[in-house]
Chains A and B, each alone.
Chain A
Amino acid sequence: MADLEAPQSKSRDLDKLLLRAGNLVGPDFYPGTEVKALISQLSIVSSSFSDFVIRLLSLRVLVVGAGGLGCELLKDLALSGFRNLDVIDMDRIEVTNLNRQFLFRLEDVGKPKAEIAAKRVMERVSGVEIVPHFSRIEDKELEFYNNFNIIALGLDSIEARRYINGVACGFLEYDEDDTPRRETIKPMVDGGTEGFKGHARVIVPGVTPCFECTIWLFPPQVKFPLCTLAETPRNAAHCIEYAHLIKWHEVHGGKSFDPDEPEHMKWVYDEAVKRAELFGIPGVTYSLTQGVVKNIIPAIASTNAIISAACALETLKIVSGCSKTLANYLTYNGGEGLHTKVTEFVRDKDCLVCGPGILIELDTSVTLQKFIDMLEEHPKLLLSKASVKHGKDSLYMQAPPVLEEMHRPNLSKSLYDLMGRVQKDTVHVFGTALKNEEKQSSLTKLRVVFKGADGVADMDTAIGA
C-alpha cells in the first residue's frame, strides 16, 4: 500500500517509520497505512480498513501544559501526524513568555495560552484538530482524562505531575492475579526542563514506574533559612526572599501575597532593591524577583525543543509500535558539553498509586468495625489499630482522640454504604503491622470488591432507598 502514498507527502519521513517493518519495532507493530491512519485519523475511512483500525480511529492525545514545553509538544505532535489533540493550561500569556513560547505574539498577551496555542498550530498544520481547555487540571472531571489514549506532560511543577499521575494511575485495574489489565492502562510521556538540563520519560502505569514510585528523583527545593534572610543576606535572592516572606507580612498584615498579581510582584521588587542597597548587594532585577518568588529556573528554548522532540517520538512509538519505547527515563544535560543517558528505573511494587494493592472480597453487610477487625487477622496485613481512607474521605482515624471521636459514628455503618455503594474501589489503610515479628508503621493500598453487588442495579436501589 505504501506506493499509493503521494511521493511529495509532508509525511514522507514518517512513512519510512510507519509503512515498513524493521528489526527494532515493538512486539505488536503492523506496518502499513492502517497504523498511519490510526495516528492521523484520516477523515476518509477507507473501506479496506479492518474493523480493528476503524475502532482505533478515535485515538486522542492530551497535552498538559501550553508553556515552553507544551508549545513545542503541540507543534511536534501535529507535525508527526497526530490529528486529534487536546491541550489544557490554566495560564494566560505574559510578555516574558514570548522569547520561547513561540506560538504566541505580543498581541496575544493576556489571552489563555491553551486557546492561542491550539489556534496557531491549527493555522499552520492542515488537518489537525486541537481542542483547547482553559482550565485548572484539578477542575476537570476525572472522566475527562479517561477520554484520551495517551497523555503528554509539558509541566513545570511536581504538584501538577503528581496530580495527573494519580489520575492516570487511577484508571488502572488489575486482574485477580495482579496483572494489569491492558485496556485500563493510560500511558504518559513526561518532559521537563531546567535551564540546560532536561528529562523525558515514559510512564506506562502497572508496567514502568509511575511518578510516585520515583518521587525521590525530585529533591525538595532548597530554601534559605529565615534568619539568614532577616540578619545576614549575602546575595540578591536573599534580599528578594526577605521582601517576599518577611517584609510583605510586616507591611500588609493578613493580606496574602499573590505571585500572579503584577502589583504585588512590583512591591516585592522595590523592597528587595532597597534591601540590596542597604547591604551593598548587586543584582536585584525584576525578572530575578519573579524567578525567585515563583521558583522559576530560566527556561531555554532549545532545551525545550530537544526534550519535546524526544517526548513526541515516544508518543509516536507508543501508539504505533514502530519502535521499542524509551526504557524509561532519559536525562539530558547540555550545561557542560553534552551528556545524555537513559536509566531503566524499576517500579515500587508497593506503590500506593500504581501498585495492585491487596485484593479483599467482602459482603456488602460488613461494617467498618468488622472490616478493621478483619485487617488484623488478614495474613498479608496483620494490621492492628487501622485507620481507613477512601479517596478524599477518611472513614476512620484511630488518633488523635479529637479525630477518633469525629469518625466513631462510621464504625457501625456498612463499608459498602460508606464507599458510596460501588461494586469495587480502592481504599488505603494505615496502622501498625506485624512484619517479621516486628511491629512497624504501615500504609497499604487495598482493592475492595463487594460480593453480590453488581454496580448498576445496586446504584438504582441505592437511589430508590
Chain B
Amino acid sequence: MIGLFKVKEKQREEAKNTNSRGASVKKQSAGELRLHKDITELNLPESCTISFPNGKNDLMNFEVTIKPDEGYYKNGKFVFTFQVSSVYPHEAPKVKCITKVYHPNIDLEGNVCLNILREDWKPVLNINTVIYGLFHLFTEPNYEDPLNHDAAAVLKTNPKQFETNVRRAMGGGYVGNTSFPRCI
C-alpha cells in the first residue's frame, strides 16, 4: 500500500492546478444533490405550491402553500416551512405550519403530527410524499393522533361543531379563548 504515497510530488503539482478550483467551488453535500433532484421531480396537486424565499442559492429552506379544495378546510390557505439538513434523506425534513390553524394534528405552535415526518420516515420517501401527507391532513384530519386536544375532542364527538369552529378560525375569529388569523 506504500505505493499510494510513491508519487507524492506529482500529487503536489496536481494540487497546484486544483488549488484555484478548490477556492471557487464549494463542497456540496450528497443530501443537497438528492434534494435538488426531489425538487425537480415534484408532481404536486394544483392546490399545493412551492416557493423559495431565499432565492435559487438556498433550496434547503423553502415554503409550501396548501389551499385545500375540499373538506373542512376548503379555500383556506396554509403555509408550511421546510428545513432540509445536509443529511437528507437520512433525516426527514423539519416541517412547521406557520399559519396558526385550528386542527387536531397541528398544534398552535405549528408542530405537525404526521407519521412520515418522524417515526415512519424512510430515506426512500421524498419531498413529494411529505407534501401529499400534509395535504391529506387537511382533507382528512384525524382525531386519533391529536396534537391539539380540544380540536380532536370536538372532531370526535361533534363533527358539525368542528366544522363551525374551523370556519370561524379560518375567518379570523376565536375558538374558545384562542384567536386565529384570517386565512381564507
Contacts and interface: CB of A to CB of B under 8 A. Distances in A.
Interface of A: 26-30, 35, 38, 52, 55-56, 58-59, 138, 141-143, 146, 149, 158-159, 162-163, 166-167, 170, 173, 182-185, 187, 212, 215-216, 218, 220-227, 230-231, 245-246, 249-250, 317-321, 325, 352-353, 387, 389-394, 397-400, 402-403, 406-407, 420, 422-423, 425, 428, 430-431, 441, 443, 455-456, 459
Contact of A162 (B24, B39, B86): B86
Contact of A394 (B3, B11, B56, B85): B56
A28 B118 CA distance: 50
Interface stretch (B26-34, B67-75, B172-180): B26-34
Interface string B1-31: 1111111111100110111111111111111
A52 B41 CA distance: 53
Given A185-B4, A220-B90, A392 B32 contact: yes
B25 A317 contact: no
Given A225-B145, A423-B17, 17 more contacts: A55-B9, A56-B6, A138-B27, A142-B27, A149-B5, A183-B7, A183-B14, A187-B1, A187-B4, A220-B92, A220-B123, A225-B119, A230-B113, A392-B25, A392-B26, A400-B42, A402-B50
A207 B156 CA distance: 59
Contacts of A249: 109-111
10 contacts: A141-B22, A143-B19, A159-B85, A162-B29, A163-B86, A166-B30, A187-B4, A392-B32, A420-B24, A422-B20
Contacts of B21: 420, 422, 425
A143 B32 contact: no
A430 B41 CA distance: 10
Contacts of A159: 85-87
A227 B105 contact: yes
Contacts of B24: 420
Given A225-B145, A407-B56, A162 B23 contact: no
Contacts of A397: 36, 39-40, 56
Contact of A28 (B1, B31, B39, B42): B1
Given A389-B33, A420-B24, A226 B147 contact: yes
Given A224-B119, A391-B25, A459-B20, A28 B87 contact: no
B112 interface: yes
B91 interface: yes
Interface residues of B, number: 67
A398 B38 CA distance: 12
Contacts of A459: 20
Contacts of A58: 8
Contacts of A225: 113, 115, 118-119, 145
